[in-house]
Chains A and B, each alone.
Chain A
Amino acid sequence: MIQLKQIYKRYQAGESEMTVLQDINFTVNQGEYVAIMGQSGSGKSTLMNILGCLDHPSEGSYWIDGVDVLSLDDPQTAQLRNRMIGFIFQQFQLLPRLTAKRNVELPLIYAGLPAKKREERAIESLRKVGLEDRMHHLPSALSGGQQQRVAIARAMVTEPTLLLADEPTGALDTQSGAVVLDLFDQLHQEGKTIVMITHDAEVATRAQRQIIIRDGEIIEEKRRPVEGEMP
C-alpha cells in the first residue's frame, strides 16, 4: 500500500544544512498496523507529514497504491488527503468555533457532499466513536479523550483506507488513551491500514510491527510475535 524509497529531508539551519531524515526505506502493506518509535526530535513527525502528503521530502520517492504521490499537483494531493488518508494529531486539531458535528463534516464539505448527506455521515461517524450525544458540543466543552475521539470520527468520515496518527495518546491520560487505542484496534480489525507514532513502548506493542528511528534513520524493525509462537 505504502512504499518509501530513499527519503531524505533536510532543513537549512543558518549556513549549515541539517538532515532530519536519512535514507528512509520501508513498505506498509494493506491492512497492516505499524508503530513508529523514537525519541523526541528523531524525525518521527517529519516522516509522518511526508506520509500524509503535508510535506515534500528533499529527495526520494513515495508511492501509495502504486501512485507516485510526489508528482501530484495541489488539487490531486488535496483529494488524496481527503479520500485516502485520515489524520490524527497529538493536539487533536479541532476547529474551536465549530461543534463536534460541524468538525466531523469538514472533510465531507471538501469532498463536495450535499448538506443532508454530510450530516447523516457525520452523525454515523460520531456514533462509531460513541459521541453521538455530544455532537452539538464545542470542542472546549469536551474532555481531551472525547476531543481525540471526535478527531478520529473526523479522520474516518470519508472512509479512507490509511489512518496516520502522530502520538494520538500523547496528550491523554492512560484511561482515555486506552479508549483511543481500542478504537484503533477496532479500525484495524475492519481492515484499515494504520501508521501510528509513539514514544511509549507499551503503546507500540498494540501494533503488529514497530519501526524505530534514531536521528532520522531507521535503526530497527520488530515484528510482534504471532500468538503461540516463541520470540
Chain B
Amino acid sequence: MNIWESIRMALDSIWAHKLRSILTMLGIVIGVSSVIIIVGIGQGGKEQLTESVTGSGNSITIVPKFDENEMYIPDESVQYFTPADLEGLKRIPEIKEVVYSSMQSGSIQNKDKTVEGAMVFGVNSNRAFDTYGAIVDKGTLFTDADYQSGGNGIIISQNVAEDLFEDEEPVGKILRVHAQPLQVIGVLQKPTGLQGMFDFPNAYIPAPTWQNIFGSLDVSQIDVQVESAEQIQVAGESAISLLNDNHSGQQEYEVQNFESFTEMISKVTDIMTLVIGSIGSISLLVGGIGVMNIMLVSVTERTREIGIRKSLGATRRNILMQFLIESVTLTSIGGAMGILLGAFVIYTIRLLGIFPASVSIWVAIGGVLFSMLFGVVFGILPANKASKLHPIDCLRYD
C-alpha cells in the first residue's frame, strides 16, 4: 500500500473533522510559532550586535574612562582631548587616521521654525558618518576643503528636515545654527534597528565651522582608523598609553568595549528566550498530548472502520501506518501554520522597526521536521492501539 494513499486517507479524515483538527493543531501552532519568534529575535539581536561591534571596520573608539557605576556625563570644564593629543595620535605609525567629533545641543532654525535641543556634531572626516552609522540619503558629504577651511554646509537628520522644511526639498536651503547661516548639503536616512529607537534630531558640520559657532573644540570621543584589523590591538594600546601620559594624574582613557552592552542585550534576550521558550515548549507538550488524546478518541470512534479495513485485507502494519501518518499530517500542518504565524509576527516586528528580527529558512525547515517528529512520538501509542484491535471486536462495536 502506498504512502500517498495513506496521506490521502489522513487528509480525508482530518477534513472530515475540521473543527476538531484545528483545535488539535492549535497547541502545535502556538508552540512552533513561539519557537520561531524567539529564534528570530535572538538571531536578529545577534546580527545587530555583531554589526555594531564589527561594522565600524578597522577602527576603535577611545573614550575617557569613568567609574563603572557613574553615568557617562562629560564634565564641561575638562578638555578630554586636546589638539596636542590629536597630533600625537596621528604620529602613531599604526594609526592611519584620527576621526573625532565634538557634540553640543543647539537650536536649528529655518525662518519661523526652530528645532531645539538638536545634537550638533562637529566632525573632522566623512568617516565619522560610518562610526555613527549615519547614511546620507539625499545630497552629498563634505569635501576635504570643507574640513580644512570650515565650509558652510550642514548635513541634517531626516526628522530635522521634516520639522524645518516639511514637504519642501531641504537640500540647497539655508538654515541657521545659533544665528550662523548654513546651507543644507545632505539629509540622512532614517536610522533602523536599535538606533531607530533613539531617533534624536541631529546635524553634522565640519569641525572648524563647529568651533566658530560653539567656541573651543570639545572632543569627547575619538575613533582611530588602522590599516588592518591585526593592528587594532597595538594601535589601541599605543593610543591609550599616549593619552594616559599626556593627562597623567587627571584622566585615564580606555578603548570603548561593547562587552557591557552585549551583556545587557543578552540578558534581555535570555529572559525573553526563557519566557517565550517556556510558553513554546509547554504549548508544544500540551499540543502533543492533545494530538495523542484526539488520536486515541479517533481510534475508538473508528473501531468499526478498523474492523472493516482488516476484514478487507489490511494488515496490522497498514492500520498502524494509517493512524501514524494521520497524526504526522496533523502535526505537520500545525507546524507549517506555526511557522507562517511566527514569520508573520517577526515581519510585523521588523516592519514596525521595533527590532530587526529575522526568520531563517533553516529554522523553518527545522520547525516542520520537529513537528513531524512530534506527530510520530505522540501518534505511535494510538496507532499501535488501533493496529492491535481484533477485527471481530471492531465489527461488533457500535
Seen from chain A, the residues whose Cβ lies within 8 Å of a Cβ on chain B are 49, 52, 54-55, 74-75, 78-79, 81-83, 87, 89, 93-95, 97, 106-107, 109-112, 154, 158
Contacts and interface: CB of A to CB of B under 8 A. Distances in A.
Nearest to A151: B308
Contacts of A54: 310-311, 390-392, 395
A110 B314 contact: yes
Nearest to B398: A91
B312 interface: yes
Interface string B292-323: 00000000000011011111111111100000
A49 to B, nearest CB: 5
A109 B315 contact: no
7 contacts: A54-B311, A54-B391, A54-B395, A78-B315, A93-B395, A110-B314, A154-B312
B98 to A, nearest CB: 77
B395 A97 contact: no
Contacts of A111: 313
Interface of A, helix, strand, loop or mixed by DSSP: helix
A107 B305 contact: no
A82 B313 CA distance: 4
B392 A75 contact: no
Given A93-B395, A97-B16, A112-B1, A107 B313 contact: yes
A83 B313 contact: yes
Q: Which of A54, A82, A97, A112 has the most CB of B within 10 A?
A: A54
Nearest to A46: B392
Nearest to A83: B313
Interface of B, helix, strand, loop or mixed by DSSP: helix
Given A55-B390, A93-B395, A112-B1, A107 B12 contact: no
A109 B392 contact: no
A186 to B, nearest CB: 22
Given A93-B304, A97-B12, A112-B1, A74 B315 contact: yes
Interface in B1-24: 1-2, 5, 12-13, 16
Q: Which 3 pairs show the lowest CB-CB distances between chains A and B? A: A82-B313, A110-B313, A78-B315
Nearest to A91: B395
Interface residues of B, number: 24
Q: Which of B311, B312, B392 has the most CB of A within 10 A?
A: B312
A52 B305 contact: no
Contacts of A74: 315-317
Given A75-B316, A110-B314, 14 more contacts: A49-B392, A54-B391, A74-B315, A74-B317, A75-B317, A78-B314, A87-B311, A89-B395, A93-B304, A93-B395, A106-B309, A109-B1, A109-B5, A111-B313
B29 to A, nearest CB: 26
A94 B311 CA distance: 12
Contacts of A78: 310, 313-316, 318
A75 B315 contact: yes
A217 B312 CA distance: 29
A136 to B, nearest CB: 15
A75 B1 CA distance: 12
Contacts of B311: 52, 54, 81, 87, 93
A38 B390 CA distance: 25
A81 B313 contact: yes
A115 to B, nearest CB: 8
A55 B2 CA distance: 27
A107 B314 CA distance: 8
Contacts of B307: 93
Contacts of B304: 93
Contacts of B310: 54, 78, 81
B16 to A, nearest CB: 6
A12 to B, nearest CB: 14
B12 to A, nearest CB: 7
Nearest to A158: B313
B299 to A, nearest CB: 15
Interface string B313-352: 1111110000000000000000000000000000000000
